[in-house]
Structure 1
């Protein structure tokens, strides 16, 4: 490792510690106001942060971002930069609602959403791996195709950019535990929230404790060495990109079914969550647990701005309050700076290359 690379990693780690310390200090100050001056504006903000409904909203909003981030980690760790996560979320969101409407089953719709996303990810993989296309351009194409195709399909089948409602997943509630203040939200949530936690744990295990995980990391860091060891680099990369489609499909399907409808107006109901997922896994340093924690920050701010709009705590225009999570993303990108990409990320490789 070069001195410059080591310094970059040290600066990035220091920035993450700085952000965490600033967040903790801010929360501590707000907690002081909440305990000793609950009627003050900072005190009211603290009790908004500490409410069970805020944590519940944070978990719900985290699901599509975390799952898309997991997909992005697998793809990029293998050497394929997939910035088309937004498109995969969009296509799976529509396919899930269409599938649920056609079959009458939310879970079948959920699976259909995953299949649609995986197929689109497969097309992206073929274009990038087989035909050696520029991965950034191909990823943008995936996003733009989904952005146009999903609302168009909705227009064809439902007569407008928004589909009809198909219902939502029933909440899973654990008696007694669900009554715990704040943390009770963990025991009174949609099945998608528990799928998210299982996916994070499974992804961490696969990447760090299995042979396939080692292959994925090697494909992104030193594909020549992996090829020399007798492992087909292209197959590993295909599998990783398809996994990005599976995870993003789960995220998009969960997003749509938790709402019960696909809305295709403007940037669609996905509204930039795929791009926030990219920031989340970069900030989380390609670690599934880190991606979950960083997403919790962004989703938590989103949940807070929703509560602030309804609670009328601060005299700030709603349009300005809505920018809070996006400003946080920009600040995080500015402070974290350059994140070390896998050595071979974005590079094409064919067996036998020198």
Structure 2
């Protein structure tokens, strides 16, 4: 039995390690090219401070840029971690956007009713987890198509949250509630640039903890090996005596918990839920899917991918205020264009072998 489990769980780990350690892998090449490009840009900015390179260098090295990148990365990175748990177990959860929406609204509503910010944070997590549980039952128990079910989760939340806000608050936007606030570490928060790491919302520190714990679960625990085996070779896991359905239920529920933390942090950091158009979530759940694919299903890689996109987004916001002679519309789409180019250079990410496939215990 142990041999069956080992063969199912070690294969994906070997593939991931090869991709991360191979110095000629597309990800390594893109990473080194990015570092080299940044070094050249910073050097040019130091030599010619009044040039465009100087302006870009100032924006990149600004403490405000790092602070904005951390804030923008929180909902995306939490959802990306949740997506990793679900998809590595064999369940493709593209409803992350919906989980973020429902948790963002519920967090504000519960905070408004109870007056407790952390009670609202917990309420957002519960709402997201319940919606994820519904998705899990439909896809695992009743064998519904995972892509269609994920889209249904998104559309349900996209309609339900603004509707509930309209009923309760008389409009798609809720009233304002107290925010989570920030934690500042004396002395360390005054450090140039990196001081932003020591003066941030508690949700940022929760994200750091979640990334570390997620990596530990996958690399150092039996549960993490079960998740990998469930997505790669569920029959081997079943032969080893582990219930595949239970592992997948647990993984999908974890995706709900983590996405709930991201959605609650998004709205409570601002103190309001806005439900106009695509809502305040505005595609962050779909960006999370791109982040964990680019990060090769690795929690640390997904976080770094999220920081790349969030950093580009923070930079374009700052550049719009600089008046560098480039139309704002062009600056606004720059992060998306760069991400598409990087994804094209990196190439295809290997998805788990059994992702999207239904498995019933005892199947031949």
Same fold at TM > 0.5:
yes
> Does the residue aligned with 1:323 lie in a helix, a strand or coil?
helix
Residue 278 of structure 1 pairs with residue 289 of structure 2: yes
CA contact (8 A) 2:181 2:269 kept: no
TM-score by length of 1: 0.95
Aligned residue for 1:333? 343
**2:116 aligned with 1:105, yes or no?**
yes
| Aligned counterpart for 1:40 among listed residues 51, 70, 81 | 51
Which string of whole-angstrom CA distances, capped at 9 and with x for unpartnered residues, describes residues 112-168 of structure 1? 000000000000000100010111111111111111111111111111111111021
- How far the C-alpha of 1:9 sits from its partner, in A, is 6.0
Q: 1:338 deviation in Å?
A: 1.4
**Alignment RMSD (CA, Å):** 1.7
Equivalent position to 1:159, from 151, 165, 170? 170
Separation (CA, whole Å) in 2 of partners of 1:256 and 1:47: 30
1:192 paired to 2:172? no
TM-score by length of 2: 0.93
In the alignment, structure 1 residue 51 sits paired with structure 2 residue 51 = no
1:251 paired to 2:266: no
How far off its partner does 1:327 sit?
1.6
SS in 2 for 1:270: coil
The residue aligned with 1:91 is 102
The answer (yes or no) to whether the contact 2:23–2:29 under 8 Å persists in 1 is no
SS in 2 for 1:265: coil
Q: Does 1:140 align with 2:168?
A: no
Alignment of 1:247-326 (within 5 A): 247-312=258-323, 314-326=324-336
1:233 equivalent to 2:244? Answer yes
Aligned equivalent of 2:358, options 348, 351, 354? 348
The answer (yes or no) to whether the contact 2:110–2:123 under 8 Å persists in 1 is yes
Aligned to 2:73: 62
Structure 2 residue matching 1:316: 3-state secondary structure: coil
Distance of 2:69 and 2:34 partners within structure 1: 16
Query: Given the superposition, is the C-alpha separation of residues 327 and 349 from structure 1 closer, same or farther in structure 2, using an over 3 Å criterion?
Result: same
Q: Distance in 2 between matches of 1:12 and 1:79?
A: 29
Contact 1:276 1:329 in 2 (8 A): no
What corresponds to 1:16 in structure 2?
27
Once residues 323 and 12 of structure 1 are traced to their aligned partners in structure 2, the CA distance between those partners, rounded to angstroms, is 31
Alpha-carbon distance, 1:13 to partner: 6.8
2:140 paired residue number: 129
User: Which whole-Å deviations, capped at 9, do the CAs of 1:34-88 have from their partners, x for residues lacking one?
Assistant: 2111111111111111010100000001100110000000000100000110110
The question of whether the paired residues in 2 share the 8 Å contact of 1:9 and 1:339 is answered with no
How far apart are the structure 1 equivalents of 2:23 and 2:81? 21
**Contact residue 90 and residue 231 of structure 2 kept, 8 A:** yes
The structural deviation recorded for 1:25 is 2.1
Long gaps (5+) in structure 2? 1-10
Moved over 4 A (4+): 8-13
Aligned length: 349
Verify: 1:216 aligned to 2:243, yes or no: no
SS at match of 1:167: coil
- C-alpha displacement of 1:187: 0.3
